[in-house]
Amino acid sequence: MSFFLPTDMEHRPVAVIGAGTLGRRIALMFATRGGVVRIYDKSGPAGDAARSYVERNVAEVAARVEGGTPGRVEVTDDLARALAGAWLAIEAVPERLDLKKSVFADLDAGAEPDAILASNSSSYPTGQFIDRVAHPERVVNMHFYMPPVQNAIDLMSDGHTDPAVLALLKEELPRYGVFPFEARKESTGFIFNRIWAAIKRESLTVVAEGVSTPQDVDRMWQINTGTPAGPFRMMDRVGLDVVLDIEEHYATERHGLPAGPRELLKSYVDAGHLGVKTGRGFYDDYSANA
């Protein structure tokens, strides 16, 4: 069966695959139009935390979205249930290529025939994990940053994506308070993330070399840029395990990157200090699972 664009989207759910730090934030944004968002995760505690996060924040965030109204979130450990009727399925699982290939094979087999399949991967182009996908024309990178505060999105073709899919997403996504920008050729790290990666890596290098501390780097960043959080606080929010996975991937593609940043991150990850989600990272003033 050939792929065709989804219709009646206002009355159909969105499925988010993964209840982690970004999965729950993505679900929050798609719950701002009064509809249903389903979060799939095999971990009951992760699913419960994601539901609580959305329910706690959706009224406030929906009030900031033009025409917004709080929607409903459902959590399930049954992938078929999560995908039933969904017009859009967004993968938000850890940054491991083998895992993403497996997830997209399952999504392609189980999603509705007209569903768009999107990846929130922060460093892998979708073209690298569609070898078991029968309809690559419906697959797209849809990379979120840190909603509901950082609401830009990278869109990027997998090399086979139907241009009409990209056009539809550019039209529809702003209705949920998120704003898409298309990477017009394949780019590891897309647009903003490539710029951010350089800042992040040099910040880590300064600390790894003993030149400064995470707190001083962040404070200087705040003073000089006027932004509320510096690079280390932002990495804590993403999760240092996720940041390390991304840096490892960049290192395999771009030979000669310094090892110091990855070694510094690994020391925190090995100690179980992953940032906000564990209550401690570069900073230790978090409540776990915030």
Rounded-to-integer distance, Cα 251 and Cα 245, Å: 10
**Which of the four pLDDT bands, split at 50, 70 and 90, describes residue 290?**
very low
Confidence at residue 1, expressed as pLDDT on a 0 to 100 scale: 46
pLDDT digits (tens, 9 = 90+) for 178-194: 999 999 999 888 999 88
pLDDT at 204 over 90: yes
Contact 33, 73 (CB under 8 A): no
How many domains would you assign to the chain?
A: 2
Q: What is the mean pLDDT of residues 238-265?
A: 92
Q: How many CB atoms lie within 10 A of CB 180?
A: 17
Q: Are residues 221 and 89 in the same domain?
A: no
Rounded-to-integer distance, Cα 224 and Cα 216, Å: 12
Q: Are residues 122 and 264 in the same domain?
A: no
Rounded-to-integer distance, Cα 88 and Cα 12, Å: 9
Domain boundary among 129, 149, 182: 182
Question: 96: which 2 tokens?
Answer: 């491991």
Asked whether residue 197 is assigned to any structural domain, the reply reads: yes
Q: Are residues 153 and 79 in the same domain?
A: yes
Q: What are phi and psi of 121, to 5 degrees?
A: -50, 135
Scanning the structure block, which residue is given the tokens 């006027």? 226
Domain containing 267 equals 193-278
Closest CA to 21 of 81, 93, 97, 121: 93
Q: Is 122 exposed, middle or buried (0-12, 13-18, 19+ CB in 10 A)?
A: buried
Tell me how far apart the terminal alpha carbons of the chain are, to the nearest angstrom.
43
Contact 189, 199 (CB under 8 A): no
Q: Are residues 69 and 165 in the same domain?
A: yes
**Which of the four pLDDT bands, split at 50, 70 and 90, describes residue 2?**
low
Domain boundary among 147, 182, 217: 182
Asked whether residue 287 is assigned to any structural domain, the reply reads: no
DSSP tally for the chain: helices H, then strands E: 10, 8
Confidence at residue 216, expressed as pLDDT on a 0 to 100 scale: 98
Confidence at residue 8, expressed as pLDDT on a 0 to 100 scale: 94
Asked whether residue 188 is assigned to any structural domain, the reply reads: no
pLDDT at 279 over 50: yes
pLDDT digits (tens, 9 = 90+) for 124-134: 899 999 999 99
Confidence at residue 289, expressed as pLDDT on a 0 to 100 scale: 46
Q: Are residues 90 and 233 in the same domain?
A: no
Contact 36, 157 (CB under 8 A): no
Rounded-to-integer distance, Cα 222 and Cα 227, Å: 5
